[in-house]
Structures are given as structure tokens and as C-alpha cells.
Amino acid sequence: MKIVATNKKAYHNYEIVESFEAGIVLLGSEVKSVREGRISLKDSYAETRNGEVFLLQAHISPYEPANRFNHEPLRERKLLLHRQEIKRLIGKIREKGYTLIPTKVMLNDKGKVKVEISLAKGKRAYQKKQAIKERDLDREMRAELKRRLR
């Protein structure tokens, strides 16, 4: 699997509980644009409606050679999951504080576009600050170890 895009903010703003791999319904010009890496997951999220899951606010840039047959960059896109997975997600989302966010967009060996959606719980401001502190301390420790090993 080749990772085309990641949602780096998701790991900072949310605590990832569980991840699912889903197919995505795309138009031809969208697939070509995704293969070029012209997709942004920033501020995107997934929502369940009538027993189906949709990806919202994911920006796929227009594919230039498609000119008038191009797609709308921010349109809703249906995600393909098994019925049991959708029912499980609906049950979890009804719990307080859980949301669905896309974390990665990947191309598999057969050229299919897959999306990793994660069940996530929002972090509080103090949790985000604590994570930043821990990351900085870890970076400093590794730098110090490198200096001492030289």
C-alpha cells in the first residue's frame, strides 16, 4: 500500500481509539488527481446517514486534463464498509465524544483508493500541551544520547 495523504492534525487533536479501512466512491478525474497526491484531509470528517458512511470536506483538487468533465473539489463521497462495521460505528458514535475522522488515503496494489477512517475522541487543551512536552523531552533525550555516543 502506498500512502498518498495523511491527516497529521488528527493525531494532535484526537485520541485514536480504533481504525477501519474503507473503499471510497470516486469519479475518474478524482482517482487521477488522488494518484498525483492532490488530496487534502485537513478539516475533513466522516458522517453516518441512513446506514451509510460519507466523507465530508475532503478536498481533491481538479484534474487539469479533464477540463469540463472535472469534479467538484469538496463534494460528499460515499465510503464502502461492511454492514457490521457500519452498525458498530453508529453505536460508538452515539456515545458521547466520539467522531469519525479520516487519517490516511492509500493506493493498494490493484490501483484502488482506500481511506483509513478512525474512531476518535477529542483531546482537551491540557492533553495536547502534555503531548507536545513529552515529544520535546523525547527529542532532547535522543539528541543527548547521540552526542554522548560520539
Q: What is the mean pLDDT of residues 140-148?
A: 92
Determine how many CB atoms are found less than 10 A away from the CB of residue 103: 19
Looking at residue 82, what is its pLDDT? 94
Looking at residue 11, what is its pLDDT? 85
28 inside domain: yes
132 inside domain: no
pLDDT tens for 63-115 read 888 777 788 888 899 999 999 999 988 888 887 778 999 999 999 888 899 99
Using left for φ > 0, alpha for ψ between -120 and 50, and beta otherwise, residue 73 falls in alpha
54 inside domain: yes
118 inside domain: yes
133 inside domain: no
Count: domains in the chain: 1
Domain extent at residue 8: 2-122
Kindly report the CATH number assigned to the domain that includes residue 94. Answer: 2.40.280.10
pLDDT tens for 13-53 read 888 888 999 999 988 888 888 898 899 998 899 999 998 99
Half-sphere exposure of 23 (CA within 13 A, CB side): 8
39 inside domain: yes
53 inside domain: yes
20 inside domain: yes
Using only C-alpha atoms, the chain has a radius of gyration, in whole angstroms, of: 18
Mean pLDDT over the full length of the chain: 89
